[in-house]
Amino acid sequence: MGVKLLLEKASVPGIRSYDVYRREGGYAAVEKALKEMSIEAIVEEVKKSGLRGRGGAGFPAGMKWSFIAKPEGVPRHLVCNADESEPGTFKDRYLMEFLPHLLIEGLIISSFALGSNDTYIYIRGEYAWVATILEEAILEATKNGWLGKNILGTGFDCMIHVHRGAGAYICGEETALIESLEGKRGNPRIKPPFPAIQGLWMRPTVVNNVETLAAIVPIIKMGGEEYAKIGVGRSTGTKLISACGNINKPGVYEIDMTISVEDFIYSDEYCGGIANGKKLKACIPGGSSVPILPANLLLKTAKGETRYMNYESLSDGGFATGSMMGSGGFIVLDEDQCIVKNTLTLARFYRHESCGQCSPCREGTGWMEKILQKIESGKGEMSDIDLLWDIQIKIEGNTICPLGDAAAWPVAAAIRHFRDEFEWHINHKELAQTSNFGLQHYADPIHVPA
Amino acid sequence: MSLQFNKEQMTEFNRLVAHYPEGKQKSALLPVLHLAQDSFGGWLPTEAMDYVASLLSIEPIEVYEVATFYSMYHLKPMGKFIFEVCQTGPCMISGSENIIAYIQRQLGIQPGETTKDGLFSLKLVECLGACGYAPMMQVGKIYKEHLTKDKVDAIIAEYRLQAKA
Ligand SMILES: Cc1cc2nc3c(=O)[nH]c(=O)nc-3n(C[C@H](O)[C@H](O)[C@H](O)COP(=O)(O)O)c2cc1C
Ligand code: SF4
Ligand code: FES
């Protein structure tokens, strides 16, 4: 059994309610932070913990907090990013649904450290029942004196507000989220200015992921140094992984980041192996935006070393032979799956979700979808593969926000590692129209680019 | 103006607006549009959007541009129950295509259509954050997960019954 810092109490009956959560030691971290620690000391512990943002980019949380501007007389805000819309990712939902008070506890401490009297949880609109769970928990916490005016006699006032989005992946991007929270379309802003200087209502703002903010609780309880001892290298603490696709046990798992990818997939404690006795073909280890890896490169790096479930190891080899930890959305594909088709569904997703502000993203995502559709349905030409490659290169790095990159990477990686599958669709037009591409067509050893 | 929130809906409106500072009431637009859609028959006619604009003291265009941006707002009348089935990668590799085809057959409609009796609409949507419980769909505020053909039949029967009640 691995270390559990976040989900330790998830299976305690009734833990969603305040009374049970409190009985199990809940809100002790708020007491400690607000009564015994200074703001500087809290930020220092978070820095020492090495906690990296769990929303996808992995930016050190303590450092982000220390960037927040503190102009005299201007309110500051903490915003919790619960937009969770990256395909393959459903960990924040689990945390909020089963342990709402853990998030609230983390939010109170973080709000105190950042000086946010009004903190917002921006939750994706579809999670309507989760929003209700959070609102009930906030009410309970308020009744018990953990939120409201003069919390624990410290003079610190704090309210947490739940704000429901309305269906737009782009609102997970922090500046689009802020626009949306202001009641506008989710068009990302050009940075700088960064939210830490001018964010919500042009006030200094920190946006953090749900899991990042929940992790503040164990960090305060055990101290940053102890937290940093868990894991390896710059991958400290524990990480929630939402595993899905063709595995025996899809679900949300808390791992300490020393476990190998192979153990994660095959051990009974986690994914429990590939479903229906099939073989592992490929995996998108960190949410739909990160590069897909074929089985061999997933389990071992290009150098032949074991690959582990942490930031450094998953990205070992760069995009040529590696991938990314991303949001922790772990999507497993078995031998029967068609990479072209899977990539097509992702391209359609990004076309649908592009906000349309920049032409490379707006036009490029549409073209990629169309070309993939053409190839998948057995109407493609060889030149289409090169065209696809060319379009993704022209999108990457040429847009206002990283959604452009996120749309380009899955297409690039699919061509890089599974070009033969694209070619098969073009060389076997009739078969491509009637059947799905599976491992039986995939006898060649997997090509590793230099 | 004939479309108006009733007393209870007005209380909810005031609760939503109170989350934001003085003068920042526009921030309540998304939550208020949800309320309007739920209150006015499951979609947002222009009249409803204009009403929301007047309540929040903003221009109607500020409401239109938001209502057209977000996928959860419906700009035309929908069936009483909307089956929003996820079609993105993780659901697709877990068998969503078969489920979508089955729902189409059982309801006799294509994606984007509504049954003649006005009960069901079918809509294909992108990842709803339930990939580990695939295939799945959302009906109103509820997620229906681990869908099988039998489960789809039961769900359709459940809503038919609910419509009669
Ligand atoms: C297109 C796009 C979608 C994103 N979606 C999310 C999301 O759903 N949840 C999230 O926490 N971060 C998301 N992010 C990352 C946020 O912009 C931001 O980096 C993050 O919320 C910061 O929190 P963290 O430092 O705690 O990870 C997204 C980024 C992009 C570019
Ligand atoms: S990259 Fe795409 S989503 Fe991001 S701002 Fe540009 S058009 Fe919008
Ligand atoms: S892909 Fe269907 S819920 Fe995520």
Contact (Cβ atoms closer than 8 angstroms) between residue A228 and residue A237 = yes
Is B160 within the bounds of a domain?
yes
C-beta atoms of A345 and B92 within 8 A: yes
Same domain, B114 and B145: yes
Confidence of residue A182 (pLDDT cuts 50, 70, 90): very high
B93 interfacial to chain A (CB closer than 8 Å): yes
**What's the whole-number average pLDDT of chain A?**
95
Which residue carries 């805000």 as its tokens?
A: A77
- Domain co-membership, A395 together with A429: yes
pLDDT mean over B50-74: 98
Specify the CATH number for the domain of residue A255. 3.10.20.600
Taking the centre of ligand 1 as the mean of its atom positions, its distance from the CA of residue A318, in whole angstroms, is: 21
CATH number of the domain that residue A397 is part of: 1.20.1440.230
Domain co-membership, B111 together with B38: no
Judge if B93 and B140 occupy the same domain. Answer: yes
In degrees to the nearest 10, what's the CA dihedral of A220, A222, A225, A226? -150
Mutate-to-test residue for ligand 1 from A95, A209, A290, highest number of ligand atoms within 8 A of CB: A209
From A177, A403, A405, give the residue whose CB has the most ligand 2 atoms within 8 Å, as the site to mutate.
A403
Q: Provide the pLDDT confidence category of residue A1 given band limits of 50, 70 and 90.
A: low
DSSP B85-153: EE-SHHHHHTTHHHHHHHHHHHHT--TT-B-TTS-EEEEEE---S-GGG-S-EEETTEEE-S--HHHHH
Residues B111 and B41 in one domain: no
- pLDDT class of A2 with cuts at 50, 70, 90: confident
Q: Report yes or no for ipTM above 0.85.
A: yes
pLDDT value at residue B98? 92
Residue A438 has pLDDT above 90, yes or no: no
- Would you call B129 an interface residue with chain A, using a CB distance cutoff of 8 Å? yes
Indicate the number of domains in chain A. Answer: 3
Q: What is the pTM of this model?
A: 0.96
CA distances from A43 to A61, A211, A212, A215, B78 (A): 9, 17, 14, 13, 50
Asked if A252 and A116 sit in the same domain, the reply is: no
Note the pLDDT of residue B2: 78
What mean pLDDT, rounded, does chain B reach?
96
Q: What is the pLDDT of residue B1?
A: 52
Confirm if A321 and A449 have CB atoms less than 8 A apart: yes
Portion of chain A with pLDDT greater than 70, in percent: 97
Are residue B90 and residue B160 in the same domain, yes or no?
Answer: yes
Whether the CB of A169 is below 8 Å from some CB of chain B: the reply is yes
Chain segment A124-163, per-residue pLDDT in tens = 999 999 999 999 999 999 999 999 999 999 999 999 999 9
* B62 found inside a domain: yes
Say what the pLDDT of residue A432 is: 83
| Range of the structural domain that residue B110 is part of | 81-164
Instruction: Choose from A171, A177, A185, A247 for mutation: most chain B CBs within 10 A.
Output: A185
In a domain, A397, yes or no: yes
DSSP conformation class of B137: E
The whole-number pLDDT of residue A413 equals 98
Mean pLDDT is lowest, of A19-23, A173-177, A392-396, A445-449, for A445-449
CATH number of residue B34's parent domain: 1.10.10
Q: Which of A193, A208, A229 is the last residue of a domain?
A: A229
- Give the residues surrounding ligand 3 with Cβ less than 6 Å away: A 87; B 86, 88, 90-91, 127-131, 134, 136
| Mean pLDDT, residues A159-180 taken together | 98
Band of pLDDT at residue A437, cut at 50, 70 and 90 = confident
Would an 8 Å CB–CB cutoff place A87 in contact with chain B?
yes
Task: Report pLDDT for A442.
Answer: 44
Check whether A443 has a pLDDT greater than 80.
Answer: no
* Main-chain phi, psi angles of A331, to 5 degrees: -110, 115
pLDDT tens per residue, range B80-94? 999 999 999 999 999
Whether residues A170 and A188 share a domain: the answer is yes
> Amino acid identity of A242?
S
Bigger pLDDT: A435 vs B86: B86
Higher-pLDDT residue of A2 and B15 is B15
Rounded average pLDDT over B141-162? 97
Residue B59 and residue B110 share a domain: no
Which of 382-421 (A) contact B at CB < 8 A? none
Contacts of B131 in chain A (CB under 8 A): 87-90, 242, 244-245, 250, 329, 331
For residue A259, pLDDT beyond 80: yes
Tens digit of each residue's pLDDT (9 = 90 or more) over A67-88 = 999 999 999 999 999 999 999 9
CATH code for the domain in which residue B139 is found:
3.40.30.10
For residue B76, pLDDT over 60 is answered with: yes
Q: Would residue A445 count as lying in a domain?
A: no
Identify the pLDDT of residue A436.
74
Total domains, chain B: 2
Q: Does residue B100 sit in the same domain as residue B155? A: yes
Contact assessment for residue A184 and residue B70, using Cβ atoms and an 8 Å cutoff: no
CATH number at residue A217: 3.40.50.11540
| Same domain, yes or no: A319 and A348 | no
Give a yes or no: residue A5 inside a domain. no
- The residue written with tokens 């950042």 in the block is A114
Q: Which of A170, A178, A354 to mutate to test the pocket of ligand 2 (most atoms within 8 A of CB)?
A: A354
Residue of minimum CA distance from atom 5 in ligand 1: A172
Do A170 and A74 share a domain, yes or no?
yes
Q: Which domain holds residue A94?
A: 18-229
